[in-house]
Structure 1
Amino acid sequence: MTTDYAVQADPDLVSGAQKGDTRAFDELVRRYRDKVYRLSFKILRNEDDAAEALQDAFLSAFRGLANFKAESTFSTWLYRITTNASLMKYRKRRDNLVSLEQSQNPGEGAEAMQLPDWSTQPLDELLDSETRQVMEEGKRLLDEDLRTVFILRDEEGLSNAEVAEILDLSVAAVKSRLHRARLRLLDRLSRYFADRLTRRDRGR
């Protein structure tokens, strides 16, 4: 009787792969490769590096599958491996990046700064290509620990608990880093919109 791997749940596929069924692992790869690549690309912002991180992640998962325990879901475990593989590649390029925190060197109490209110901006303006470019640049300049939490939590939609497990942090630490990342990005966007409105007013 032919086994239909596509309809099997992750725990069944993991169990089969741990027993040496390579087709079960192939199905896990097929099921998660797009998500793994997407996460790697968001961290690395480079297609070739993301593709290499994807290969590294699944190779590490295959090698470590025998030690995987159902204390966490397979997807969370794989996300942790993917994040680590991507960050290893990112750190090799880190010297070429300038940290926004280092360049601004904010002092104590910087988190409580008053930010301009740009929440009334039209949605199409918030989503235009120039604004997205500003947002992407802001994410690129975030410190690694803040950027990783922001990607996992706000872009991948994982819960605080899942992010904490992936990064081996407390939930409180995840919330703190997420708050700081959002403030950095909000500050960058606020300054961008203030400048944009000034330029628009001058053009009238």
Structure 2
Amino acid sequence: MTPEGADEALVAAARRGSTEAFARLVERHQQPLRAFLRRACGDWAFADDLAQETFVAAWSRIGQLKSGASVRAWLCGIGYRKHLTALRSRRRDRAREASYEAERPQVGARFEDDRLALEAALAGLSPDQRACVALCLAGDFSHGEAAEALGLPLGTVKSHVTRGRARLLQALEDRDGR
């Protein structure tokens, strides 16, 4: 049987739900797909991740493969589109980070002193208090959301936030008074 004929038989079986047949397709086309993606993106680890994603997508789309079409070409097409999507995503991430950096206020000596004082005050809080302060004051969680996330009673979260806020304010006042 020709390689193409073997692929067609495996595709037909995979369409009927045979995971064994699909596993054989993966075995047959894994190395060529990885080699193509490694050349296309220049990053071996990333290419291997893309190959995995390609096979997951191929399993869910096996019914869309046209009869007689090249399985290898179909897989490379899926992989290449995944690569392009990842590139666009990386570009958006870089643009977002650049925008954030451009809009971020410049760190001055006063701001840096405040930040260090706050970090020292946070380090002095108990782990539960620090977590409550981090979620409610810095993370914009409600007291109820923080209680649920941390598995603590609502009243405990409220008292931790109140006491933690007071300690942080005291740390800033002490720094200003020096």
TM score, norm. by length of structure 2: 0.46
The structure with more radius of gyration: 2
Q: Greater relative contact order (Cα 8 A, min sep 6): structure 1 or 2?
A: 1
By percentage of residues, which structure has more helix?
A: 2
TM score, norm. by length of structure 1: 0.41
